[in-house]
Amino acid sequence: MTDVSSSTNEKNIFDSIYPGGREPEHCDETERLGYKQEFRRHFSLLALTAMGPPSAIFLTLVAPLNSGGPQALFWGWIIVCTFTIFVAFSLGELCSAFPSAGGPSYWVFRIASPRWRRQLSYVTGWLNLAGQWAFGASAVFESAFTFTAAASLYHPDYVAQPWHVVLICFFFLALSVIANIFANEYLAKINTLLHINNTGWSSHALVFILGLLQSAFTMIGYDSVTHMSEEMVEPAKNVPKALLVTVITGTFSGLVVIIPLLFCLTRIDDILASEIGSPFLALMYFSTDSRPAGVLLALLPTTCALLALNSMLMATSRTVYAFARDGAFPFPSFFRRVDETRRVPTNALVVSAFIEVVMLVLYIGSSTLFYTIISLATIGFDLAYLLPIATLMANGRKLDESTPFKLGRWGWPMNIAASVYLAFISAIMLIPTVSPVTPSNMNYTSCILVFILLVAAAFWFSQGRRTFEGPDLHLVEQEKVSAERFSAAGDKSNAKSGGDVHVSVVRRA
């Protein structure tokens, strides 16, 4: 790559890109970021606003019941959501400045030092992808598990085998792939104080901290809306709004679910010891004393989770597509293809579902290994969020002041709070959740994380360092431009000479 920077003859350079002295109004925001616009912009603000937390709370109920009980469920939600809002504001500011399907990996590339931006962007992208694949696999797994538990409730002699669960997962994933390929247009419209300690750890503070993990797992993946930036009208304005609406509505909808749930948690030991298999289904059955009512209440959030699976797979495919577009994914020319008729990255969509299938198959051989891989959902997302925020602070929070969404004087405190939270959650993700620690209950998250980084490193040395150059910036990045100077084409009488124009053009060598 070659950089051409100049503070002289700036008018000729600027005019060569934006004839008339300013950017044409019809110029697409994706083209401003250095890419060809290949998708239809048909997603509205409401279509990208997710409402997943309530179903995730139900389907992951066993974690807080073992680690802290109702206290951890309620206060953990309050603590996690408070800091998640800080993270959402921080990511919203970055997305407003750079509304690309690449999300965190693109943001890092644009704000990091030229010396390290390729490597940091590459690692961020792989962490983000690992989190998305694990999150998608966990969502479909928990849903399938609830279905087999419902079968066990009606037929006590039925014992669900791991391959039964995985087979149901395959069916749900296949439906999601078909819906994303053939019904993408319609998806845009559809998306419109008892302290219990069953962990074995003697420290109640540690148990409470471990109880935060369920809330932390539930409130992740909200960057999915940012990966749909290139399919949304006015993404610089609307994607940050969708991001914040997702997190804030998720916070309050989660409370709406948790508060009545706490009144029902009167037989926790029976719920955890139930042979039904699903703590949530057991809770619904014990509360209603009716099999049909219990199953119906349990399948409602399960159905919501399956609908959310479509959105998760959609966002993951766009991340793969964006990563391949930059040359950072294996066989980039193949996985960056977009179906010209349906405007869907079909190859990226299929490979995303396939990787989730591989993760699910592991459950047949080892549930410990499978759950460890699923833990990547939290740590992968959180590290992918932490890197761009930390890079922005290291860069002195230098962003274009003309972006629609900016934090201003609140930027530093929000970025710091977000970074501390993300680093803290990532650290406790590595702590074993049960004591005494044995090979069967050991937390192998650190091993899986190292494995993912080694795989990324292998691709880097075999391909990525040659093909990954970042966005193809034909655009001009104005590092220092007086806003009024080019406010009217050719009108120099009203222009102010507030500063020099520094233009940086990045081209492929």
Domain-wise residue ranges, the chain: 35-57+67-192+203-471
169/159 Cα distance (integer angstroms) = 17
For the chain, the farthest-separated pair of C-alpha atoms sits apart, in whole angstroms, at: 86
Task: For tokens 């909808």, name the residue.
Answer: 253
Task: State residue 495's pLDDT score.
Answer: 39
What pLDDT score was predicted for residue 165?
A: 92
DSSP 494-507: S----S--EEEEEE
pLDDT at 498: 37
Pairwise CA distance, residues 133 & 355, whole Å: 7
Query: SS3 letters for 121-179?
Result: HHHHHHHHHHHHHHHHHHHHHHHHHHHHHHHHHHCCCCCCCHHHHHHHHHHHHHHHHHH
CA distance 429 to 27: 44
In this prediction, residue 471 carries a pLDDT of 67
| Strand bridging mode 196-197 / 67-68 | antiparallel
pLDDT at 297: 81
The Cα 482–Cα 499 span in angstroms is 6
Q: Report, as ranges of residue numbers, the positions in the chain whose pLDDT lies below 70.
A: 1-56, 58-68, 184-218, 223, 401, 471-509
Q: pLDDT, tens digit, for every residue of 242-267? A: 888 888 888 887 887 788 878 777 77
CA dist list (Å): 190 to 49, 171, 184, 186, 311: 11, 21, 10, 6, 10
- Domain covering 35-57+67-192+203-471, topology: Amino acid/polyamine transporter I (1.20.1740)
pTM for the full predicted model: 0.79
pLDDT of residue 356: 93
pLDDT by residue (tens digit) across 268-290?
778 777 777 778 888 888 888 88
Q: Please provide the size of the chain in residues.
A: 509
Per-residue confidence (pLDDT) for residue 421, from 0 to 100? 93
**pLDDT value, residue 457:** 93
Which contiguous run of DSSP H or E holds residue 6? strand 2-6
